[in-house]
Copies of this chain bind each other. A is one copy, B any other.
């Protein structure tokens, strides 16, 4: 079949996962079909099955690839700075692959990248001097917040600015605006003002949680006093 004479790009699971991520970025996750992916890679559907075990496995690989893009907390920074940088990185990655957010949950199999990530995160919390129970809490709380935030961002119809007004219009039209006074007030007097950005709440929340952890650690360190 006059196939580019011998030079096979050698399909590998990684290469396939990479192409799948690119395809999802470009056309959306629902456009990611085995056939489309095969086309993209210049091969045929069934060929892919010799490298990945099925679509579920492929999704697992994609998820781990997403985790690989996230910058783990650096060891050369102050623990708090390291954690903030890491959380911002996580958010940025998730925002750049919005389709991945729902995926991250449905997959339970932790890949090596995820574990590496967990480890670095725990190490940073440890450097912060948090006792073990607080490390556990801190990690759970931080990640809940970070992923939850990214999730909301990915879902939001609009992030602010023009689109926002339209959405607000639609909602107000579809339902009785008078029934939702706070919602209206928030939208008109704050969200639709120039300069508003949903994303600005991210750093605020992050700061609150870190402050809370530090305070809790101090409280724990103090032997016993009201």
Neighbour of A105 across the interface among B107, B108, B140, B151, CB < 8 A = B151
> Is B201 a contact partner of A212 (Cβ separation < 8 A)?
no
Closest Cβ of chain B to A25, distance in Å, is 16
> Is A115 a contact partner of B183 (Cβ separation < 8 A)?
yes
Do most interface residues of chain A lie in helix, strand or loop, or is the interface mixed? helix
Closest Cβ of chain B to A225, distance in Å, is 19
**Interface check A211, CB cutoff 8 A:** yes
Closest Cβ of chain B to A212, distance in Å, is 3
> Is B144 a contact partner of A205 (Cβ separation < 8 A)?
yes
Q: In the complex, which residue of chain B has the Cβ closest to the Cβ of A110? A: B171
> Is B119 a contact partner of A179 (Cβ separation < 8 A)?
yes
Asked, given contacts A102-B106, A175-B115, whether A182 binds B148 with beta carbons under 8 Å apart, the answer is: no
Interface residues of A in 132-147 (CB under 8 A from B): 132-133, 135-137, 140-141, 143-147
**Interface check A157, CB cutoff 8 A:** yes
> Is A136 a contact partner of B175 (Cβ separation < 8 A)?
no
Neighbour of A144 across the interface among B107, B140, B149, CB < 8 A = B149
Of A6-14, A35-43, A185-193, the stretch lying at the interface with chain B is: A185-193
Residues of B within 8 A of A226 (CB): none
Interface residues of A in 92-107 (CB under 8 A from B): 101-107
